[in-house]
């Protein structure tokens, strides 16, 4: 796919799909690292807390894909100010690059709100006691990601700021991956018949 991106002179949709595929490979490698088949057999869970964590992974994955679209559309500075966009809380022009950029910001706030709700869920559920530090880390990283996103804009897309923005996104996905793994293990334990 990388070759096609280069040969086709990087159309926005293809470069975004290329990024999404790369992140998907990252998530699959993470899964294979956790469930290597030797120390722990592969498992998949989509019930209870595992479904919640997997759904949040899908949300953050979508936000990352939208960020890649903004990047490849050259819309990183379509809203050159922060926290407003074109001097307004809701930009006067909601189309093209401005719409893409503003949507990425708005979804970022939704991810932060979701992180807060996830943290409260984990704090209140006694079965999630072991996940409290992970949920807090996810919340802190989600807040930091908004700050890094602001730095990206205010620095004029400075390379190190944009690289940090991507690194934090991968960190968010990794933390969510650990939350899901813990829930999948718990689900497997409750569904497995007792050994005699």
Hey, where are the domains in the chain?
2-191
Report cis status (omega within 30 of 0) of the bond before 83. Answer: yes
pLDDT at 88: 95
Burial per residue of 125-141, b for 16 or more beta-carbon CB atoms within 10 angstroms, e otherwise: eeebeebeebbebbbeb
pLDDT at 130 > cutoff 70: yes
Please report which helix (H) or strand (E) contains residue 173, including its range: helix 159-191
Q: How many CB atoms lie within 10 A of CB 66?
A: 19
pLDDT at 28 > cutoff 60: yes
Average pLDDT over residues 42-47: 82
Rounded CA gap, 46 and 18, in Å? Answer: 27
Per-residue pLDDT of 52-98, as tens digits, reads 999 999 999 999 999 999 998 999 999 999 999 999 999 988 899 99
pLDDT at 2: 59
Average pLDDT over residues 6-20: 75
Average pLDDT over residues 167-184: 93
pLDDT at 57: 96
Q: In this structure, are residues 24 and 18 in contact, taking their beta carbons and an 8 Å threshold?
A: no
Higher pLDDT, 195 or 178: 178
pLDDT at 189 > cutoff 80: no
12 band by pLDDT with thresholds 50, 70 and 90: confident
Percent over 90 (pLDDT), the chain: 65
Closest CA to 136 of 116, 156, 153, 150: 116
17 band by pLDDT with thresholds 50, 70 and 90: confident
Closest CA to 60 of 19, 111, 120, 25: 111
pLDDT at 58: 95
């Amino acid at each position: 796919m990388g070759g096609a991106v280069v040969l086709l002179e990087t159309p926005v949709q293809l470069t975004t799909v290329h990024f999404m595929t790369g992140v998907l490979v990252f998530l699959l490698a993470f899964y294979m690292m956790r469930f290597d088949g030797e120390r722990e057999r592969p498992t998949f869970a989509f019930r209870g807390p595992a479904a919640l964590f997997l759904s949040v992974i899908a949300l953050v994955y979508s936000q990352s894909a939208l960020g890649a679209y903004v990047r490849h559309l050259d819309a990183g500075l379509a809203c050159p100010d922060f926290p407003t966009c074109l001097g307004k809380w809701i930009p006067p022009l909601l189309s093209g690059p401005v719409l893409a950029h503003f949507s990425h910001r708005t979804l970022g706030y939704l991810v932060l709100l979701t992180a807060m709700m996830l943290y409260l869920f984990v704090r209140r559920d006694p079965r999630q006691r072991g996940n409290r530090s992970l949920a807090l880390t996810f919340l802190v990283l989600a807040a930091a990601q908004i700050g890094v996103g602001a730095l990206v804009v205010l620095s004029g897309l400075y390379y190190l700021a944009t690289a940090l923005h991507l690194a934090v996104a991968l960190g968010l996905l990794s933390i969510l991956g650990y939350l899901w793994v813990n829930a999948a293990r718990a689900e497997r334990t409750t569904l497995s018949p007792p050994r005699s």
